Amino acid sequence: MSVNNLANGSIGSIKEKDTLVDESSLTNDEAVPFVESDLPLVGDYVGIGGPDAVPLETQGAFEKPEKVAGSVLDDLFMAPSETHLLSMRRTISNFEISQNKSRLKWNIFFHSLLSILMALKLLPEILDKLDIFILEIEELLIPKPQLWEWIWMSSILPTAVAWSACKKSKAFNMKFFQLLNVATGLLPVMIGMSYHFSDFYDVVSSSGDEMISKWMGVPTSVLWYIFLFIALQIQLTELYLANTLINAWKPKKTN
């Protein structure tokens, strides 16, 4: 083998390699042709992940979906009928009525606790009327009761009417309870506040401390105002809840 042949062979092999590289580059160029497209936005990226792959707006996203037949949930939530709406409103109304009944019963319970306190206040006078003498009670030196205290004590009786009206859902009985509550509960509370107002004002203004009546070192007007303020809140809440139940129990007018 001559040097020329080696030279020619090497040169030939190099030329063959060059032709192979050129053919591979041509095949790659033919595999990825240049894509021309009209883009709505100038300067957008062309290729994978561009506007062609991820659209700017999903078609039908804001359109009403077609109704699927035979689905109860679709009928109830997607296209509820008048019957379904009335049933849902009736369910919500019954739940609210049940809550108001429970709240009214709790107010009656607290009303009963205040009545027990008032009964203890009136106990010495009741024992005197019955000619019963108990030294321990007499030593407490409880002040004599006023007329409005007896009237307020009777306000526990109308609560039985309200309790019965809650069980039977009777609007007339609840109205009757409202009238009795105002007459035997709310008005005596206002009278009691006005009766002890002067003493309470003297305590607040720190004037005439020697003339203020006290029980066990505490001004009686302060004790009465604490009691009367709680009683006022309870009875106003009772009237409000009773009125709410009356409106809920009224027959609905149909056009």
Gap between the Cα atoms of 71 and 56, Å rounded: 33
Query: pLDDT at position 106, please?
Result: 93
Half-sphere exposure of 6 (CA within 13 A, CB side): 3
Q: Which of 152, 224, 154, 226 is nearest to 188 (CA)?
A: 152
Model confidence at 26, pLDDT cuts 50, 70, 90, reads very low
- Model confidence at 114: pLDDT above 90: yes
The lowest-confidence range among 52-66, 175-189, 204-218 is 52-66
Model confidence at 190, pLDDT cuts 50, 70, 90, reads very high
Enumerate long-range contacts of 247-255, CB under 8 Å, 24 or more apart: 248/93, 248/96, 248/97, 248/100, 249/97, 249/169, 249/170, 249/171, 249/174, 250/171
Listed in sequence order, the DSSP H helices in 58-157 are: 72-73, 82-129, 135-138, 147-153
Query: pLDDT at position 70, please?
Result: 52
Task: Name, in order, each residue with C-beta under 8 angstroms of 171's C-beta and a sequence gap of 6 or more.
Answer: 165, 245, 246, 249, 250
How remote is the C-alpha of 232 from its chain's centroid? 25
What mean pLDDT do residues 117-123 have? 90
- Model confidence at 16: pLDDT above 70: no
Gap between the Cα atoms of 224 and 197, Å rounded: 10
Average pLDDT of the chain is 75
Cα dist from 95 to 12, 92, 169, 177, 192, whole Å: 97, 5, 14, 23, 38
Model confidence at 178, pLDDT cuts 50, 70, 90, reads very high
- Model confidence at 212: pLDDT above 80: no
| Radius of gyration for the alpha carbons in the chain, expressed in angstroms and rounded | 45
- Model confidence at 89: pLDDT above 90: no
Query: pLDDT at position 199, please?
Result: 82
- Model confidence at 185: pLDDT above 70: yes
Q: 3-class SS at 214? A: strand
Which is higher by pLDDT, 92 or 196?
Answer: 196
Task: Identify which of 66-70, 155-159, 196-200, 246-250 has the greatest average pLDDT.
Answer: 155-159
Task: Identify which of 5-19, 21-35, 97-111 has the greatest average pLDDT.
Answer: 97-111
Which is higher by pLDDT, 96 or 25?
Answer: 96
- Model confidence at 58: pLDDT above 90: no
pTM assigned to the model = 0.62
